[in-house]
Amino acid sequence: MRTAEAPEGRRDIRLVAVGASTGGPLVLQTFLSGIPKNFPVPIAVVQHIAPGFLSGLGDWLTRTTGYPVHIASQGEHLQAGHAYLAPDGFQISLDKSFKTVLSGNTKEYTLCPSVSHFFKSLIPVFREKMAGVLMTGMGRDGADELKLMKDAGAVTIAQDKETSVVHGMPGEAIKIGGAVFVLPSDKIAGKIVNLVTGHAGA
């Protein structure tokens, strides 16, 4: 599925931002397996997961995909060709120099880290020069903010219902017109690679 105004080919994308919840680890594995090791922009991920399991997730993703995955730390400069997971118990955002800013939770968000907080914080910094991806998950965390990303000119992708374990988050984004592309899990990486590099993805 592709909306009529969706662009094709290479875009000036400096960051790929991903949100996922229930069922996310396997989709992230599929996604990162399709990203080339010389990918020219960083990938930042908010994945809802029980406290204490994030380090194991990062190690597992690195081992099974060959793509370097790290848990982001305060003030870390995100590097191209690497993926970063938001740490347990912190809201995450980025400044214009791609350095992480970690903060405590506020009453505005029930989840910490929150996809909504992360996506919303990126809009004034990167505007159209980013891609937002919302994957399988319960609820609507990140759905409204994916729409705000799209409205700011960013490329946005929502995972389709057929390949989602739970189609809450991406489904809500689709309902409100927040997705430029709606794709199955095994096609997301290829689309991102095409948009960032202009080359066909795996």
CATH of residue 129's domain is 3.40.50.180
Q: Does residue 191 belong to any structural domain of this protein?
A: yes
Please check the confidence at residue 64 and state whether its pLDDT lies above 80.
yes
| Token digits of residue 131 | 């891609």
Q: Does residue 184 belong to any structural domain of this protein?
A: yes
Q: Does residue 8 belong to any structural domain of this protein?
A: no
Burial tier of 133 (Cβ tally within 10 Å: 0-12, 13-18, 19+): buried
Q: Does residue 6 belong to any structural domain of this protein?
A: no
Q: Average the pLDDT over 81-104 and give the result.
A: 97
29-43, 78-92, 103-117, 136-150: which range is least confident on average? 103-117
Domain count, the chain: 1
Q: Average the pLDDT over 20-40 and give the result.
A: 98
Q: Average the pLDDT over 99-126 and give the result.
A: 94
**Structural domain boundaries enclosing 180:** 15-197
Give the helix ranges, DSSP H, for the chain.
24-33, 54-65, 115-126, 143-151, 168-175, 188-197
Dist CA 130 CA 74 (whole Å): 21
Asked if 89 contacts 83 with a C-beta cutoff of 8 angstroms, the reply is no
Burial tier of 200 (Cβ tally within 10 Å: 0-12, 13-18, 19+): exposed
Q: Does residue 139 belong to any structural domain of this protein?
A: yes
Please check the confidence at residue 176 and state whether its pLDDT lies above 50.
yes
Binned at pLDDT 50, 70 and 90, residue 105 comes out as confident
Which residues 6+ apart lie within 8 Å of 151 measured at CB? none
3-state secondary structure of 47: strand
C-alpha pair distances (Å), 192 with each of 11, 105, 160, 165, 202:
10, 30, 15, 21, 10
Q: Does residue 138 belong to any structural domain of this protein?
A: yes
Catalytic residue list: 21, 48, 141
- Give pLDDT, residue 149: 98
Please check the confidence at residue 42 and state whether its pLDDT lies above 90.
yes
Q: Does residue 49 belong to any structural domain of this protein?
A: yes
Q: Does residue 48 belong to any structural domain of this protein?
A: yes
Please check the confidence at residue 5 and state whether its pLDDT lies above 90.
no
